[in-house]
């Protein structure tokens, strides 16, 4: 167990010299990562909820391609589709259009 004692001593020596690296700031998540559980949602999501469905990967690719072709977002496309479904069944449109 000499190795663990040596490692402990090295850590304590480094800390006492003051040359230890500070812990990285965890308050801002890197782009493309999810927010920490319990963190408040961004203002654009306040008062909203997620609606999830599972489809074949080809569906996602086609939706993303359509969004790129129309220079819009996937969110806007799905909102339009949901409003069309509501209208088809005589229900009021609930998704706000951008």
Cα separation, 74 vs 63, whole angstroms: 7
Cα separation, 6 vs 20, whole angstroms: 17
Q: Cα–chain-centroid distance for residue 15?
A: 36
Q: How confident is the model at residue 12 (pLDDT cuts 50, 70, 90)?
A: confident
Q: Is the pLDDT of residue 29 over 60?
A: no
Instruction: Map out the domains of the chain as residue ranges.
Output: 54-93
Residue that the structure tokens 């220079």 belong to: 71
pLDDT of residue 4: 63
| pTM of the model as a whole | 0.57
More confident residue, 83 or 19: 83
Each residue's pLDDT tens digit, 50-81? 999 999 999 999 999 999 999 999 999 999 99
Q: Is the pLDDT of residue 85 over 90?
A: yes
């Amino acid at each position: 167990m000499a190795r663990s004692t040596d490692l402990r001593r090295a850590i304590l020596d480094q800390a006492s010299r003051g040359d230890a690296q500070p812990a990285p700031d965890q308050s801002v998540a890197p782009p493309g990562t999810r927010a920490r559980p319990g963190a408040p949602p961004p203002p654009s999501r306040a008062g909203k909820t997620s609606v999830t469905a599972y489809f074949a990967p080809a569906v996602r690719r086609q939706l993303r391609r359509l969004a790129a072709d129309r220079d819009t977002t996937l969110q806007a496309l799905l909102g339009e589709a949901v409003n069309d479904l509501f209208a088809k069944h005589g229900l009021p449109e609930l998704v706000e259009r951008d």
